[in-house]
Amino acid sequence: AQKVTQAQTEISVVEKEDVTLDCVYETRDTTYYLFWYKQPPSGELVFLIRRNSFDEQNEISGRYSWNFQKSTSSFNFTITASQVVDSAVYFCALSDSGGGADGLTFGKGTHLIIQP
């Protein structure tokens, strides 16, 4: 069975600080996909990134970066120089490409609060 654990329920930092959101996943499949979504107060989940299990290269997009480590089954997300607009709930999610449900398995989310 698939499982995604986001141990940090809530994180509060002051603007301009760097912050890392942790994600640990479990799957028996060798082919799978990992995602991060942002959920602002409006409620609409916004796609941030997708990574497949064969691509362990870290990725940077502006102030966002992702560290994928298969050895520790982790896919952590770092925001550099955080801004108030980054305040939201962030979800890590997992899917496989094989049998079973076609839906994503989400973690419980990390509520990120950026204080001015």
**For binding to another protein (CB under 8 A), which residues are involved?**
4, 33, 37, 42-47, 50, 52, 91, 93, 95-97, 100-109
Supply the minimum distance, in Å, between the C-beta of residue 58 and another protein. 20
Are 83 and 15 contacting, i.e. CB atoms less than 8 angstroms apart?
A: yes
Of 13 and 104, nearer to another protein (C-beta) is 104
Supply the minimum distance, in Å, between the C-beta of residue 3 and another protein. 11
Task: Please state the φ and ψ torsions of residue 107, each to the nearest 5 degrees.
Answer: -80, 180
